[in-house]
A and B are shown apart, each in its own frame.
Chain A
Amino acid sequence: MTGSKLPDFDDETLYEDAPCGYLATRPDGEVIRVNRTFLRWTGYSAKELHGTRFQDKLTLAGRIYHETHFAPLLRMQGAISELALDFVCKDGARLPTLVNTVQKTDPDGRPIVNLTTIFDARDRRRYEQDLLGARDSARQAASELQRLNSELEQRIAAAVEERLKAEDALRQAQKMEAIGQLTGGVAHDFNNLLTLVIGGLDLIDRQLPSQPPGPGTERIRRARDAAMEGARRAAKLTQHLLAFARRQPLQPKLLEINRLIREISDMLRRTLGEQVELEAVLGGGLWNVEADPVQLENAILNLAVNARDAMGAGGKLTIETHNASLDDSYVEGIPEGLRPGQYVMIAVSDTGCGMALDTQAKVFEPFFTTKEVGKGTGLGLSQVYGFVRQSGGHVRIYSELGVGTSVKIYLPRARAGVKAERRESNVEPTAIRGDERILLVEDHEDLREHVAGILADLGYQVTATADGPSALAAIEEGSDFDLLLTDVILPGGMNGRQIATRALQLRPRLKVLFMTGYTQNAIVHDGRLDAGVALISKPFTYDQLGAKVRAQLDGLSVSFAT
C-alpha cells in the first residue's frame, strides 16, 4: 500500500488501539501477548494475564463451551469465527464478546500459536436475548395455538358424536311413536270388538243355567269357555302391544318392591315348575318406587317365564333387589336417555342357555321371539321394556351363552312425600245393581247398545248418546244424571274429557267414569292417569262393568277433578 505515512498510526498503535481485543496464545491457551484495548475492556494488566490461559478468564459456562466446542473445532478447522464467549473482567463484571481465532501450525501441521480477535458484543448479545425471547414467545404461541386447535377438534368431535346420539335417540323415539300410533289405533278398534265378543259370551253364560241340562248345553258351555279364554288372551295381547307402545294407562302406586315380590312368589313358583329353584335376595333398606303394581307383576312374571324356557333341564332363578345410584357417566351410555339419580334395581337372573349378542340386541323388539312358532308371542320382553320406560326407568340385559341371562330393571325412587297405600282389594262388590240414572256416551253403535243393555239389565236408567253435543244436550234438557259413563276418543269435536269438564260445570255433583281401549293424552299425561280420574279399560266383562259403575256411584273412588 502506498500513501502518506502518518506518524501516529504505526503498527504498534494499530495493534494496541485497534477497536477489538487481540490475543496471541499458545495452543493450550497460555497468553503470550495481549493488546491495550482488551486490557482496557477487562481491567487486567498485561502482567496479570501473561502466563495464564485465556480460557481461565471465561465464565464457567464459557469454559465448558471452550472445552467442548472451541478447542476441538479450532484444532480440526484451523480457524473459528464469531464464537460467543463471556469474559470475566477484573472487577467481576461480564464482557460478552464474539471471538475469532486462527491457529498457526508448523510444516508438520502441529499447532504453534493461536491468534484471536475479540469483539465487544454487549449490544449484539442484548439483541440476541430479545430475539431468543421473541422466538420462545412465538414457540409458546404456536404450541398454544396447536393445543387450542386440537381442543377445538376434540370439541367438534364430541359435538358431532352428541348430535349423532341425539339423532339416534330421535329416530328410536320416532319409531316408537309410529309403532305406538299403529298399535294404539288397532288396539282401540280391537278392544271395542273384544268388548262385544266378551259381552256376547257373558250373555251366553248368564243364559245357560236357564237352559235344560244335556250334552248340547254342555257343548255350548265348553265352547263358550274356550271362546272366553281366546278373548282374554286376545285382550292380553292388545294390552302388551299398548305396553310396548307405552300407551297403556298406568296407575302408579307407591310400592314396596320386596313385599310385592314376596306376595307373588307363590305364583312364580307355580309358573317355574319343580325343575327350577327360586331364590330371592332382597336388599335391606330398599327405597320405595312409584309404579303400576299390576304391570310390574306382569313384567316379573314375563321375565320368569322367559327364564324358565331358557332352562329346559332345570336350574335356578334368582330375583335380587337393591338400591342403585346411576351417575352421569352411566346414563350417558344409554342411547334412549335416562335421568341420573336414585333407582331401585330388580334383577331376574337364570342359569339357562344364555343369548348371543345379536339376539340380545333384538330381544326388546315386539314380535321377536326365539321360541318355536306358537310357543311365544314375542311380546313378553316388549311389555317389560315398554312398561319400565313408561315408568321412567331402564332395562339392561346381560347374557352369556351357556352361562345364563340376567335382566335388570331400574325403577326411579319414589318422590318424597308420596304416601304408601294398600293395594286395592280385588274383591268386587257383591251387590252391583242399582237404579241411578246414567248418561252413556259411546260412538261405536254395537258397543253402545251392548253397554246400555248391561246397565239396563243391572237396573239402571240409561240414556245412550253417540257424541259430546248430544250428551250435553241431554243434560241441558234437564235430566238429572248421577253418572256420566263416556268413551274417551269420540267424533263430533269433543273428547271424553271435554265432555266431562262441560258436564261438571252443568252438574257439579255428577260422577264420571271413563272407558277406553287406549288413551291418548286426554286423560293420561306422561303415561299416568290424571289424579282423580276413574277408568275402566276395554274389553270388560259384565261383572267388571257392573262393579266399576257401582263403586263410582258409591264414591269408593274420588270424584273427577276438573
Chain B
Amino acid sequence: MDPLTRHNVKVSGRGERVMMFAHGFGCDQNMWRFVAPAFEETHKVVLFDHVGCGGADSSAYDGQRHSALRGYADDVVEIARALGVADGIYVGHSVSAMIGILAARSAPELFGRLVLIGPSPCYINDGDYRGGFERSDIEELMTFMDSNFLGWSAALTPQIMGNSERPELAEELNNSFCRTDPDIAKRFARVTFLSDNRSDLEGVTAPVLILQCSDDLIAPDSVGAYVHERLPQSALVKLEATGHCPNLSAPEETIEAIRAWI
C-alpha cells in the first residue's frame, strides 16, 4: 500500500512550500483543525495519521518497525518522499516533535524548518535530567488506557466490538475523533513515554522553533529549556496557553507564534 493511503494523508492549501503537521499520542490529524487551515493560503498543508490512529491502516502496524520512534520517523520520511517534499516545514506536536527530529536526521533534505510543540526527548527522570515521570507512572497509564478502551472508546471502534460486519456502525462512529486501535495505542504509549532520544538532538542543522506551553505536565519548562540548549539553532517561545495542547486550547497564539517565525 502506498504511504499516502496507508497514513490517510490529506493535502490542501494553495501555497508552494509544504507544511506537514504531525499529531501526537492520543489523537489524530483532527487535532490540527483549528491551526492548519490558517496556513492554507500560503502553504501546501499536509495532514496524516500515524499507524493505529485515526484513518491510518492498522494492518500497516509492524511490531518490529514501530517498537521505536525511529519506525514512526521512517513513516514520515516515506510520506514526505511520496509527496516529493523538499525544504518543507515540519510541525510536530508532543511525541511527533521528536519523530520530526529523527526524520530530519535521516533525511535532512526534506524539511528546512522544524516547529516542535511541547517536545520531550525523554519523559522519565534520569539523574539530573527531570523528564517529569517515573517508570511506574507509565505502567499505571497503561491500566487507564485499558479501562478507557473498555469504556467509551470500546464503543467507538468496530474492530473492538467484533462488529466489522456492521459497517453502518463504523459510519456512525466516524463522527468521533481520535479513533485508535487499543493494542497499538498502548504500544505507542509505551514507545513514546519510555523513549530516550536525547542523543538524537545532536547534529540537527535545520532551524527549530520550540513552542513551550505554560504549566505543561507532559513537557515541563525544564524539558523545553533542555531541548533549546541542545539545539543551538533553535528559538524557544513560551506560550501563555496552559496544558499540553495549545493547538486546541490556544490556536490563535499557536498560529501567530509559528507564522512569526516562518
- Taking Cβ atoms with an 8 Å cutoff, the residues of A that contact B are 27-28, 59-65, 67-69, 71-73, 75-77, 80-86, 98, 125, 128, 131-132
B interface residues, how many (CB within 8 angstroms): 35
Q: Residue among B24, B94, B150 with the most chain A CB within 10 A?
A: B150
Q: Say whether B261 faces chain A, with CB atoms less than 8 Å apart.
A: no
Residue of A67, A77, A83 near B218 (CB, 8 A) is A67
B72 to chain A, nearest CB (A): 16
Q: Say whether B177 faces chain A, with CB atoms less than 8 Å apart.
A: yes
Assess whether B26 is in contact with A59, with CB atoms less than 8 Å apart. Answer: no
Assess whether A64 is in contact with B137, with CB atoms less than 8 Å apart. Answer: yes
Residue of A59, A63, A65, A125 near B145 (CB, 8 A) is A65
Assess whether A71 is in contact with B144, with CB atoms less than 8 Å apart. Answer: no
Tell me whether A64 and B147 are in contact in the complex, defined as CB-CB below 8 angstroms, given that A71-B243, A72-B245, A76-B248 are known contacts: no
Assess whether A73 is in contact with B177, with CB atoms less than 8 Å apart. Answer: yes
Tell me whether A64 and B217 are in contact in the complex, defined as CB-CB below 8 angstroms, given that A28-B243, A72-B27, A75-B245 are known contacts: yes
Q: Which residues of A contact B140 (CB under 8 A)?
A: 59-61
Q: Say whether B249 faces chain A, with CB atoms less than 8 Å apart.
A: yes
Assess whether A67 is in contact with B145, with CB atoms less than 8 Å apart. Answer: no
Q: Say whether B25 faces chain A, with CB atoms less than 8 Å apart.
A: yes
Assess whether B26 is in contact with A60, with CB atoms less than 8 Å apart. Answer: no
Assess whether A73 is in contact with B178, with CB atoms less than 8 Å apart. Answer: yes
Residue of B27, B148, B242 near A83 (CB, 8 A) is B148
* Bound CA span A132–B25, Å: 23
* Bound CA span A517–B94, Å: 94
Residue of B150, B177, B193 near A76 (CB, 8 A) is B177
Q: Say whether B127 faces chain A, with CB atoms less than 8 Å apart.
A: no
- Taking Cβ atoms with an 8 Å cutoff, the residues of B that contact A are 24-27, 30-31, 33, 94, 133, 137-138, 140-141, 143-148, 150-152, 176-178, 193, 216-218, 242-245, 248-249
Q: Can you name 28 A-B residue pairings with CB atoms under 8 Å?
A: A27-B249, A28-B249, A59-B140, A61-B144, A64-B217, A65-B148, A67-B216, A67-B218, A67-B244, A67-B245, A68-B24, A68-B27, A68-B94, A69-B27, A72-B27, A72-B245, A73-B178, A75-B248, A76-B31, A76-B177, A80-B152, A81-B152, A82-B151, A83-B152, A84-B147, A84-B151, A85-B144, A128-B151
* Bound CA span A128–B176, Å: 23
Assess whether B150 is in contact with A132, with CB atoms less than 8 Å apart. Answer: yes
* Bound CA span A132–B146, Å: 8
Assess whether A69 is in contact with B26, with CB atoms less than 8 Å apart. Answer: yes
Q: Which residues of A contact B193 (CB under 8 A)?
A: 64
B171 to chain A, nearest CB (A): 17
Tell me whether A72 and B178 are in contact in the complex, defined as CB-CB below 8 angstroms, given that A60-B137, A65-B148, A128-B150 are known contacts: yes
Assess whether B151 is in contact with A61, with CB atoms less than 8 Å apart. Answer: no
A76 to chain B, nearest CB (A): 5
Tell me whether A72 and B248 are in contact in the complex, defined as CB-CB below 8 angstroms, given that A59-B140, A64-B217 are known contacts: yes
Residue of A nearest to B123 (CB): A64
Tell me whether A68 and B25 are in contact in the complex, defined as CB-CB below 8 angstroms, given that A28-B242, A61-B144, A62-B144 are known contacts: yes
* Bound CA span A425–B177, Å: 102
Tell me whether A75 and B249 are in contact in the complex, defined as CB-CB below 8 angstroms, given that A68-B24, A82-B152, A83-B152 are known contacts: yes
* Bound CA span A68–B216, Å: 11
Q: Is the interface of A mostly helix, strand, loop or mixed?
A: helix
Assess whether A67 is in contact with B152, with CB atoms less than 8 Å apart. Answer: no
Q: Which residues of B contact A68 (CB under 8 A)?
A: 24-27, 94, 218, 244
* Bound CA span A63–B242, Å: 14
Residue of B25, B146, B152, B245 near A71 (CB, 8 A) is B245
B47 to chain A, nearest CB (A): 14
Residue of A27, A61, A62, A72 near B26 (CB, 8 A) is A72
* Bound CA span A59–B133, Å: 12
Residue of A60, A77, A83 near B151 (CB, 8 A) is A83
Q: Which residues of B contact A63 (CB under 8 A)?
A: 217
Q: Which residues of A contact B217 (CB under 8 A)?
A: 63-64, 67
Q: Which residues of A contact B150 (CB under 8 A)?
A: 84, 128, 131-132
* Bound CA span A432–B57, Å: 99
* Bound CA span A71–B245, Å: 8
* Bound CA span A75–B143, Å: 24
Assess whether A64 is in contact with B151, with CB atoms less than 8 Å apart. Answer: no
Tell me whether A64 and B218 are in contact in the complex, defined as CB-CB below 8 angstroms, given that A83-B152, A84-B151 are known contacts: yes
B55 to chain A, nearest CB (A): 15
Residue of B nearest to A68 (CB): B26
Residue of B nearest to A59 (CB): B140
Q: Which residues of A contact B143 (CB under 8 A)?
A: 61
Q: Which residues of A contact B26 (CB under 8 A)?
A: 68-69, 72
Assess whether B148 is in contact with A69, with CB atoms less than 8 Å apart. Answer: yes
Q: Residue among B143, B144, B216 with the most chain A CB within 10 A?
A: B144
- Apart from the given pairs A63-B217, A71-B248, A71-B249, 13 other A-B contacts in the complex at a CB distance below 8 Å: A28-B249, A61-B140, A61-B141, A64-B137, A64-B218, A67-B216, A68-B24, A68-B26, A72-B178, A72-B245, A81-B152, A85-B144, A132-B150
A106 to chain B, nearest CB (A): 15
* Bound CA span A511–B26, Å: 102
Residue of A nearest to B248 (CB): A75
Assess whether A76 is in contact with B144, with CB atoms less than 8 Å apart. Answer: no
* Bound CA span A75–B34, Å: 10
Assess whether A67 is in contact with B248, with CB atoms less than 8 Å apart. Answer: no
* Bound CA span A60–B244, Å: 14
Q: Which residues of B contact A128 (CB under 8 A)?
A: 146-147, 150-151
- In order of increasing CB-CB distance, the 10 nearest A-B pairs are A68-B26, A61-B140, A84-B147, A67-B244, A61-B141, A75-B248, A82-B152, A76-B177, A69-B26, A82-B151
Q: Which residues of B contact A82 (CB under 8 A)?
A: 151-152
* Bound CA span A132–B154, Å: 13
Q: Which residues of B contact A132 (CB under 8 A)?
A: 146, 150
Residue of B nearest to A98 (CB): B151
Assess whether B137 is in contact with A76, with CB atoms less than 8 Å apart. Answer: no
Q: Which residues of B contact A62 (CB under 8 A)?
A: 144
Q: Which residues of A contact B218 (CB under 8 A)?
A: 64, 67-68
B166 to chain A, nearest CB (A): 21
Assess whether A67 is in contact with B243, with CB atoms less than 8 Å apart. Answer: yes
* Bound CA span A392–B150, Å: 69
Q: Which residues of A contact B244 (CB under 8 A)?
A: 67-68, 71
B217 to chain A, nearest CB (A): 5
Q: Which residues of B contact A61 (CB under 8 A)?
A: 137-138, 140-141, 143-144
